[in-house]
Amino acid sequence: MNTIDIHEIKRHLPHRYPFLLVDRVIEYIPGEHLVSIKNITYNEPQFIGHFPQRAIMPGVLILESLAQSTGLLAFKTATKLYSSQELYYLAGIDNARFKKPVEPGDQLKLKVTLIKHKRNLWKFFGKATVDGELVVSADIMCVNQELPQ
């Protein structure tokens, strides 16, 4: 079973604290799927204001965790590392559904499945679960492009 630790994640993704939202990859098959983990802790900056009376992980950050997982799968599928001369970014989200709140102490299990890859466009289906219960699902499109010189 293929895994990726935080050190390798940082070689594939340009994100850093507080926006690196994948802690570990527990399984992947290039060209097929990837399963990652995001541990939710009360120390994260979004919980100061979302919400003070009861901390809830913002849905857009769960979607971002899924999108970062797609980046890891794309780079493993294309067998290359992130390059500062290229951006891999979110191009679209369709059919996003939020089923249950995520709170500090939860562990998100993020599974992304590659649906289609053509040239620089990637399409995935992603779902996030906590303790086996679906919390978020979405169709995610990403694109990679070289930066202008």
Element counts in the chain: helices (H) and strands (E): 2, 6
The DSSP output letter for 70 is: H
**Cβ-proximal residues to 27 (8 Å cutoff; 6+ apart), any chain:** 1, 2, 3, 33, 34, 35
Rg over alpha carbons for the chain, rounded to the nearest Å, is 15
**C-alpha 117: how far from chain center:** 17
How is the beta sheet containing 33-39 ordered, strand by strand? Answer: 24-29, 33-39, 107-118, 121-130, 133-146, 86-98
Known active-site residue 33: no
Of 15, 33, 50, 117, catalytic = 50
Catalogue the active-site residues. 50
